[in-house]
Amino acid sequence: MKTIRRIYFYAVALISLEVVLWGMIGLARSIFSNSVGSGVAQLAQALALILVGVPVFGIHWWAAQRSASKDEEEHTSAVRALFLYSALLGLLIPLTQNGLAFINRLIIDFFNIPSSRAMLGGYQSLSDNFIAALMNGLVAAYFVYILRGDWREIVNKTALTLIRRIYRYIWVIYSLVMSIIGVNQILLYLFSLVTEYAHADNYYETLLANGLALALVGIPLWVWAWKVAQDALKDPAERASLLRLGMLYILSLSGVIFVLTTTGIIINEFIQLLLKETNSFRDFLQAIEEPLAVAIPLGAVWAYYGNWLKRDLTALPNAPRRDSLNRLYYYILSFIGLFASFVGVAMLLSFLIDTIFGTSIWNGSLETRLADSLATLFVSLPLWLKTWFPMQAQALALDERGDHARRSSIRKIYLYLALFAGVVGGMAAAVLLISLLLQILLGTKPVGFTDDFLNALQMLILFGGLLAYHWQSLRRDGILRGELLQEKADTFTALLLDNGDETLLPQLTSVMEAESAGINLILQNPKEELPAADALLLPLDLALNPSELLTITLREFNGSKFLLPRESDDWFWMKNPKLIAKSLRQLAEGEDIQQSHKSPGWMILVYILAGITVVEMIFFLLVMTFNSF
């Protein structure tokens, strides 16, 4: 209940803060407005925002501050930290945008281009931007003061550290995107000088002006944001942060995906240049200027952040974890390469079928299809070969590393996704193929039967090959893993101390036959000297009341020790002080103790938002890919 109350107060405070802030900005802007009509309307709206927002914000912020001053849990809550850093983002990003709008108009005016062509603030004035930046800056200074006070006073800084880390990387991504767009527009202008392509309305000059404004603001901001993130690596917790690794993964993978996509577009245009005699080299340069302007900055992002990802993974002390994270990177690229290669092969075979057996003559459509299929293969097939075969070689190794690779959840997901695609796609192709054959048997020959039949047949063969290849890989993993596990299990011994419970041994034996067949499980009398073993299973009642011999034996035993708790109404396992406090409160309120760990509500919200963002990014990339070919 406290978490829900907390979310309510801080969410309302954040929304009402923005209402008050933009009311103040509108009020100040109305004072300098030259238009009486618009000034009255703007003044009325600004006063309404202030009159409604001030009491709402004041009540909720006062209540939140009072709770934080009296209750340490409120003061250290992740919801409060999220509110403070969200408020800073909501204040400092508009401040940056207003500064960018001013610089944008300044450069636009320098090139004698109408201010309305500016990317930002085309219809604003210097006073509009100054007022907005000043108001946002003043309120931001207040919350910086509050935040610094929290960092001084709070002992448990876990939530503050996590949210600050997210806050820093948001600035890195925000400034990086701004820099990439700026460089992209500058490159488009430079390429237009090479192609000598004239465009009406000073189009390329406008691109240059807007690009310079974005680069002049974005690049220094990115340098500062990235330096802050890098300087924080002095803290071991920052170096081990999964958020940092996740950001490096996203940036490097985004870079490689966009670079490969744009490379495919360029290859496509080049093949069409070779196939079509009417195309000129100038037309080719004009066609590739946009993908090339995207590939250059994103290629730099891929090279830079890919290098940092490699360095961070190499620095990880835990070898299995390092290999697992490397596998994630390789399997994502491998899956993309496999998918695109499959599409490229299907397109090429479809082209050959239509060319050889179809009625179509060699025309622009067939040339475009050939160029599309070859460009897709030229880009995707090397990607798949370069990423899949190292992972396959690692999984075939007969050592500990190979065993980890075969048991990897990432590899299993990859293989089962390929199997799923093979089965479902094969079903669809088989249905189409059988449908065509049944129409022939029923005395009706469809129009274009040969083309449709051969295309359905080639899709069935391709999906069948996809299914068979990955099924064989999965089967080989199981065989190798079974052989290695059997070797390990044959040499592993576990002792179960007998406490007189006649149900424990049969239950454990039954489970082990299914999960850990081959492990030697021995029932041992605790009053006798223990033989050599790798693990010791100790019932809780014996652990709480051990004999003198058992105490000495446990002290000298060098293997792993397992405690087997029994269901009891008065014994509970407490993992940390927070769980103790929570359990005591539950007992005091007459509730049963719940020891299951639940994720905080705010973390669930973060996971949901992250999942939605990832889905949107994947959908956007797929749309961009298909629209480009």
For 194, how many CA atoms within 13 A lie in the half-sphere containing its CB?
14
Residue 177's H or E segment, with its range, is helix 158-195
Strand order in the sheet with 520-524: 520-524, 493-497, 535-539, 560-564
Q: How far apart are CA 213 and CA 103, in angstroms?
A: 6
Q: How far apart are CA 227 and CA 246, in angstroms?
A: 18
Query: With 80 as the cut, is the pLDDT of residue 620 above it?
Result: no
Direct distance between the N- and C-terminal alpha carbons of the chain, in angstroms, rounded to an integer: 53
pLDDT value for 596: 55
Assign 610 a pLDDT band (cuts: 50, 70, 90): low
Whether the Cβ atoms of residue 167 and residue 197 lie closer than 8 Å to each other:
no
R_g (Cα) of the chain, nearest Å: 33
List of residues 6+ apart from 531 with CB closer than 8 A: 495, 522, 524
Helices then strands, each counted (H, E), the chain? 20, 4
3-state helix, strand, coil in the chain (%, to 5): 80, 5, 20
| pLDDT digit string, tens, across residues 512-561 | 665 555 677 777 777 777 777 778 777 777 777 777 777 777 777 777 77
| pLDDT digit string, tens, across residues 449-461 | 788 888 889 999 9
| pLDDT digit string, tens, across residues 223-254 | 999 999 998 888 877 777 888 888 888 888 88
148-152, 240-244, 610-614, range with the lowest pLDDT: 610-614
More confident residue, 458 or 570: 458
pLDDT value for 503: 62
**Which whole-number Å values give the CA distances from 60 to 11, 47, 57, 65, 242, in the listed order?**
9, 20, 5, 9, 34
Q: How far apart are CA 192 and CA 97, in angstroms?
A: 28
Residue carrying the six token digits 């067939």: 366
Assign 626 a pLDDT band (cuts: 50, 70, 90): very low
Average pLDDT score over the chain? 81
Local structure of residue 522 (DSSP, 8 states):
E
Could you tell me the pTM of the whole model? 0.74
List of residues 6+ apart from 451 with CB closer than 8 A: 353, 354, 357, 358
**Which whole-number Å values give the CA distances from 509 to 26, 110, 485, 525, 561, in the listed order?**
75, 83, 18, 17, 18
**Which whole-number Å values give the CA distances from 538 to 126, 261, 495, 535, in the listed order?**
76, 58, 9, 10
Query: With 60 as the cut, is the pLDDT of residue 588 above it?
Result: yes
Q: Of 317, 299, 192, 313, give the one whose Cα is nearest residue 252.
A: 299
**Amino acid at residue number 52:** V
Assign 629 a pLDDT band (cuts: 50, 70, 90): very low
The DSSP string of 186-244 is HHHHHHHHHHT---GGGHHHHHHHHHHHHHHHHHHHHHHHHHHHHHGGGSHHHHT-HHH
Q: How far apart are CA 26 and CA 50, in angstroms?
A: 10
pLDDT value for 493: 78
Q: How far apart are CA 332 and CA 85, in angstroms?
A: 32
**Which whole-number Å values give the CA distances from 354 to 189, 312, 427, 434, 445, in the listed order?**
41, 50, 23, 20, 18
pLDDT value for 414: 92
Q: Of 190, 183, 184, give the one whose Cα is nearest residue 204.
A: 190
Determine how β-strand 520-524 pairs with β-strand 535-539.
Answer: unpaired
| pLDDT digit string, tens, across residues 399-420 | 777 888 888 888 999 999 999 9
Tokens of 175: 């400034």
Q: 564 has which bridge partners?
A: 539
Whether the Cβ atoms of residue 369 and residue 360 lie closer than 8 Å to each other:
no
Assign 625 a pLDDT band (cuts: 50, 70, 90): very low
| pLDDT digit string, tens, across residues 98-139 | 999 999 988 888 888 888 888 888 778 888 888 889 999 999
pLDDT value for 516: 58
Determine how β-strand 535-539 pairs with β-strand 560-564.
Answer: parallel
| pLDDT digit string, tens, across residues 347-357 | 999 888 888 87
CB neighbourhood size of 388 (10 A): 20
The DSSP string of 555-623 is HH--SEEEEE----SS-----SHHHHHHHHHHHHTTPPP-------HHHHHHHHHHHHHHHHHHHHHHH
Q: How far apart are CA 457 and CA 469, in angstroms?
A: 18
Query: With 90 as the cut, is the pLDDT of residue 325 above it?
Result: no
Report how far Cα 262 is from the mean position of its chain's Cα atoms.
22
| pLDDT digit string, tens, across residues 462-518 | 999 999 999 999 888 888 776 666 666 566 777 777 666 556 667 666 666 655 556
Query: With 50 as the cut, is the pLDDT of residue 440 above it?
Result: yes
**Amino acid at residue number 105:** R
**Amino acid at residue number 465:** G
